[in-house]
Amino acid sequence: MTVTLDRTRNRDEDVADAPAETVGRALRTPMRWQLVIYLLLVIGVLVALMPFVIMLFSSLKTQGEILRDPRSLIPQEFTGENYSRWFSDIGIGQFFTNSIVVAVATVAGNIVFCSMVGYALAKMEFRGKKILFGLVMVTLMTPGTVTFVPLFVLVSKLGLVNTYPALILPFLVTPTGVFLMRQFMSGIPEALLEAARIDGAGEWRIFFRVVLPLCGPPIATLSILTFLGSWNNFLWPLVAAQSEDKYTLPIALTLYSKGQDATNYGLLLAGSVLVIAPIVVLFLALQRFFVQSVVSSGIK
Amino acid sequence: MYRDIRVRKVGLVTAALTATAVLLAGCGRTESAVGGSSAAPSTIGSAPATGTLTIWAQADEAAGLPAFAEEFMKANPGLTITVNPLPWDAAHSKYQTAIAGGSTPDIAQMGTTWMSDFQDAFAPIPTSIDTSVFFEGSAKTNEVGGTMLGVPWYVDTRVFYYRKDLAEKAGWKEFPKTWDEFKKFGKDLQTKAGAKWGIGLPATGTDSFQSMLMFPWSAGAKLTNDDNSKWTLDSQQWIDALTYYQSFFSDGISNPNPDTGAGAAEAAFVDGSTPVLVAGPSGIGSISKAGGGADYQSKFAVGRVPSNSSSTSFVGGSNLVVFKNSKNADAAWKFIQWMSTPEVQVRWQKAVGDLPAVKSAWQDKTLADDPFLKVFGAQLEDTAAPPTVTTWTQVSAAADKVLEQIVRSNADPATSLKSLQSQADSIGTGS
Amino acid sequence: MATEVDLSAARPASTPRSGRGSPQATRARRQGLTAWLFALPFVVIFSVFMLVPIISSLGMSFTDFTSRDIQTPFAVGFVGFDQYADLFSNNQFLKSLSVTGYFVVVGIPLTMVVAMTLAVALDSGIDRFRSFFRVGFYLPVVTGIVAIAVVWRFILQDNGILNAVLGWFGIDGPNWLNSTTWAMPAMILMAVWRNTGTLMIIFLAGLQAIPTEVKEAAAIDGAGAWKRFTRITLPLMRPTLLLGAVLLSVGYLQFFEEPFVMTNGGPLDSTLSVSYFVYNQFGFGKYGTASAASYVLFVIIALLSLVQFRALRSKD
């Protein structure tokens, strides 16, 4: 603990909080500190990536080799069999499609609905506001397992079992999303909105023209969090879907790689790599958007 | 501050509303009929099955089932069967919620220890099904509160896998038959064959207690009394069995902290550091794979549970059940009946690898002559299963902890069992 | 755009507007209506799919509901607070409270400090490999727990990778997963590894919302980097810090997945968290007990969040 704290202090000694090229001399990080930062980042990223590297290499081993020699990193003989089984024998395509449909719909719903209600909670006065926010926080804090059975009973009463809506609706809005949007939006200066109001803009116009364009980073954050939540969700889709054609990736992953008392580790790890790949792509795409939004929103 | 008060108020209002709702709904337990005392069909019709059937099955069984369903549909042209696969990991939760939501299939594959959990949802089996054709231990897992709620599909029992080459090196041509021999066998493997640990035994973790029940059972200990109304976990047989079990760990023959990671047990078996392990039939495949292929099968063998007053092992596997809600129960039972014929059971074993639950299926050559399978067949004649009571998982979880204390902290077996007995008493048997 | 970014951003949203004339009142009324229109889609979905199940489960916690009652949910006994009272005399539950407490007290500060350090480092003058570092630090978040479990066993087992690395420094590492002392630190290590990425992203988004002008002005006034960080960056990050702290504690108080896949709550209950206790009760079919334990956890989460709201509330 102490070590970490000390390190923070040292590292922050000469840290500036914006891209170097846009900043004047006063904020530039000196060379020697840049080196220290790089060194620490490289060590940190190696630690962070280590398990992933193990996973990638192990997925290229045969089941026999994983069982015989689980600790070696580089496979003695490389095999693509674990991957080809996912594509040819199992047909991972249908599960990908399902996962994407559910995740995209969930993300879209969260972006639209959570930012709308987040704006109302952050920047508008209305009766019941405190109660609404209170309820959102209560829901955020309720342990998920406890509502599981009642939720399923509800969904089956509504006749939605084994449909896409059953997979999507319970997550179309999330208390986390509302909280996140509200927190960021409450950081938007009131003066900006007042100026727009004085110009005669209505709330809808202000929301779309003034507030949303400023919300690039939080919307990117919300998209990643929601996408990830949906992408890795296991128990709910399993229960709500009742035939294989509605199954999502995580279900397929355990379904095909885990038996009653034996696990096909190679298949499991290869499948995990395939499941992770799209998220890495999504993250790469969105993080570029992070950088852009910073450049466009205010500094220049 | 303002906000905080509101939150609390909302909470109270909600609580009050709910309490009122629950009260208004006129709640209160009424003693309803337990189990499936609702009219059991006496016989299964002889006409071909028609209509539609949905079957839920887990993992390997789900993968193998469509081919058999196809065949049955050919013989019954008016019937359509859909098989829906579930992962083992979450199948219990899936059945739990499906029953809650009233969206159950017609037929399901039920783990033998789950029968009592969902007893109210299953239909009793037709009286015309002869349950004496199945292994007795396996058939008993279907009996809940005196009613048969399902039919054995396949069985799974535990035996010991050992390295033949190392055993010979240690001076053992055959697998030990008695408890005393078994312990000496472990010691010899360490001293004469260079094994780090003589015997790999379940030490800790979920179901570790369940996995070592072969020892108390072989000593004549019982989990409950005859009518499953009381736990009997502190008898002298129990103390003897656990004292014996503990000695493996305190004498350094077994590892109290075994690696439970991917393939760790198989790897330790193959590299000779722990040349004996407990496993079901799936061990044949996973050990061969770890050893480099089918050739490796000449290096190891399986042996029956060493006997004390008996040689009794654990029987698991899966049963087939029909849900009460099924609209096509007649066709469902016809399919199950067909799956239980010896001929189909043998073909099922060849296709999926599951051991037949029907005794006469074992006369088939592929089973009777296989050096590994015939040991399983012999072991199946003497097996036991945990009682079909709803509180078993709870007692089993408490027992896992007690076992852990005995193995790791060298706790006194008699005292530990006494505390387990009192925990089990307060949990009850749910009847 | 937005050159004049007002930095009193931290000012509460409910700043009262001056004047109390009738036009204002009309406007307020109209705004109230608009606000509810903004909230409407959320409120509808939220009420149906979240409030209804929560209310039902809360009701369950006052009954002796078990898995055998699921087809006849109203034919159960009303037991009031009995189950809550039973919980507090259940040693395993009390143990699980202390396990969760340990995890939260060590895990939350550790994760926040690591995440903030990384966010600041990534937001400092670094411009090479920035995307690579971001993705690298975020990757642990996206990996599903099942695959993680397989890999982390390779790392944490007695002769695993972690102890091999410790061996280079002459340290004889413990048998992490089988030691009552070291199993929790191992779980915390995994949790920090898994959760830092999310928090780092949230903090980065917050850091980037702070205009450079302000810090530049401070720098010109002679404030050093550490001073700028504590006096300017941290105060302006209050809403973000609050967000991070609340999300993290909500998540950490429900600590479950790591022991579930790694230790099964052992050895000797040393990693059995409250959520794990709840999970076990559900497994036993004791829905009433499970619900009651969940709501005890809920109260704790709510209390902790309240404290955080107090501590990190924006100052006017």
pLDDT cut 70: percent of chain C above it: 87
DSSP assignment letter at A210: I
Complete DSSP assignment for B29-77? ---PPPTT-S-------SSPP-EEEEEEEEHHHHHHHHHHHHHHHHHST
By C-alpha distance, the chain A residue nearest C213 is A299
Asked if B101 and A153 come within 8 Å (Cβ–Cβ), the reply is yes
Average pLDDT, chain C: 80
The answer to whether residue B242 scores a pLDDT higher than 90 is yes
Mean pLDDT in order along chain A per 10 residues (300 residues):
33 38 54 81 88 87 74 80 85 90 95 93 89 89 80 87 92 91 84 86 87 84 88 85 87 79 80 86 73 39
Closest of B292, C35, C146 to residue A203, by C-alpha? C35
Asked if B267 and A244 come within 8 Å (Cβ–Cβ), the reply is no
Neighbours of C254 (CB within 10 A): 23
Q: Element (H or E) spanning C292, and its range?
A: helix C287-312
Asked if C280 and B397 come within 8 Å (Cβ–Cβ), the reply is yes
Q: Of C121 and B199, which is predicted with more confidence? A: B199
- How far does CA C66 lie from the centroid of its chain? 30
How is residue C83 written in tokens?
């189950």
Output the CA torsion sign for C123, C127, C130, C133. Answer: negative
pLDDT value of position B421: 95
Complete DSSP assignment for C14-62? TPPPS---HHHHHHHHHHHHHHHHHHHHHHHHHIIIIIHHHHHHHHHTT
Kindly report the three-state secondary structure assignment for every residue of B308-342. CCCCCEEEEEEEEEEECCCCCHHHHHHHHHHHCCH
Residue whose entry in the numeric block shows the structure tokens 């450079």: C212
By C-alpha distance, the chain A residue nearest B94 is A239
Residue whose entry in the numeric block shows the structure tokens 């390190």: A7
Q: Of B247 and C198, which is predicted with more confidence? A: B247
| Amino acid found at B180 | D
Q: Are B43 and B128 in contact (CB under 8 A)?
A: yes
Q: Element (H or E) spanning C305, and its range?
A: helix C287-312
Least confident window among A206-210, C13-17, C213-217: C13-17
Q: Does A200 touch chain C (CB under 8 A)?
A: no
User: Once rounded to an integer, what is the mean pLDDT over residues B178-206?
Assistant: 92
CB proximity list for B90: less than 8 A, separation 6 or greater: A234, A235, A238, A254
Cα gap C184→C104, rounded to integer Å: 11
Q: Does A143 touch chain C (CB under 8 A)?
A: yes
Least confident window among A198-202, B32-36, B347-351, C118-122: B32-36
The answer to whether residue B239 scores a pLDDT higher than 90 is yes
pLDDT value of position B171: 94
Least confident window among A159-168, B128-137, C143-152, C255-264: C143-152
pLDDT value of position B374: 92
Which chains are adjacent to chain B, needing at least 3 Cβ pairs under 8 Å? A, C
Cα gap A175→C42, rounded to integer Å: 10
Q: Of B253 and C64, which is predicted with more confidence? A: B253
Residue from the list A21, A189, A221 with its beta carbon closest to the beta carbon of C205: A221
Asked if A125 and C35 come within 8 Å (Cβ–Cβ), the reply is yes
Residue from the list B21, B117, B397 with its beta carbon closest to the beta carbon of C67: B117
Cα gap C212→C124, rounded to integer Å: 12
Residue from the list B87, B93, B102 with its beta carbon closest to the beta carbon of A258: B87
The dihedral over CA atoms of A149, A151, A154, A155, expressed in degrees to the nearest 10, equals: -110
Task: Tell me what ipTM this predicted complex has.
Answer: 0.76
Q: Are C243 and C202 in contact (CB under 8 A)?
A: yes
Q: Of B291 and B55, which is predicted with more confidence? A: B55
| Amino acid found at B279 | A
CB proximity list for A205: less than 8 A, separation 6 or greater: A196
User: Once rounded to an integer, what is the mean pLDDT over residues C239-263?
Assistant: 85
Residue from the list C140, C233, C290 with its beta carbon closest to the beta carbon of A48: C140
Output the CA torsion sign for B371, B377, B379, B384. Answer: positive
User: Which residues numbered 55-84 in C keep a CB inside 8 Å of some CB on B?
Assistant: 55-56, 58-59, 62-64, 66-68, 70-72, 74-78
Helix, strand, coil shares of chain C, percent, nearest 5, are 70, 0, 30
pLDDT value of position B15: 40
Asked if B18 and C285 come within 8 Å (Cβ–Cβ), the reply is no
pLDDT cut 70: percent of chain B above it: 90
CB proximity list for C299: less than 8 A, separation 6 or greater: none
How, if at all, do strands B51-58 and B147-148 pair?
unpaired
Closest of A241, B349, B260 to residue C157, by C-alpha? B260
Residue from the list C58, C66, C154 with its beta carbon closest to the beta carbon of B18: C58
Least confident window among B26-35, B138-147, C183-192: B26-35
pLDDT value of position A12: 35
Complete DSSP assignment for A155-208? HHHTT-TTSHHHHHGGGSS-HHHHHHHHHHHTTS-HHHHHHHHHTT--HHHIII
Per the confidence metrics, is the pTM higher than 0.90? Answer: no
Rg for chain B, CA atoms, rounded: 24
Instruction: Read off the pLDDT of residues C67-103 as tens digits, 9 standing for 90 and up.
Output: 667 666 666 777 878 888 888 988 889 999 999 999 9
Residues of C in contact with A35 (CB under 8 A): none
The answer to whether residue C13 scores a pLDDT higher than 70 is no
Closest of B106, B136, B134 to residue B325, by C-alpha? B106
How is residue B242 written in tokens?
């656990």
Q: Does C1 touch chain B (CB under 8 A)?
A: no
Residues in chain A whose Cβ is within 8 Å of chain B: 63-64, 66-70, 130-131, 133-135, 137-138, 148-149, 152-153, 155-157, 161, 234-235, 238-239, 242-244, 251, 254-256, 258-263, 265
Which chains are adjacent to chain C, needing at least 3 Cβ pairs under 8 Å? A, B
User: Which residues numbered 389-428 in B keep a CB inside 8 Å of some CB on C?
Assistant: 390-391, 393-394, 397, 401, 404-405, 408-409
User: Once rounded to an integer, what is the mean pLDDT over residues C51-74?
Assistant: 78
CB proximity list for A38: less than 8 A, separation 6 or greater: C126, C128
Cα gap B408→B246, rounded to integer Å: 9
Residue whose entry in the numeric block shows the structure tokens 């949230």: C202
Asked if C147 and A272 come within 8 Å (Cβ–Cβ), the reply is yes
pLDDT value of position A294: 43
Rounded (5°) CA angle A97-C46-A203: 100
Q: Does A86 touch chain C (CB under 8 A)?
A: no
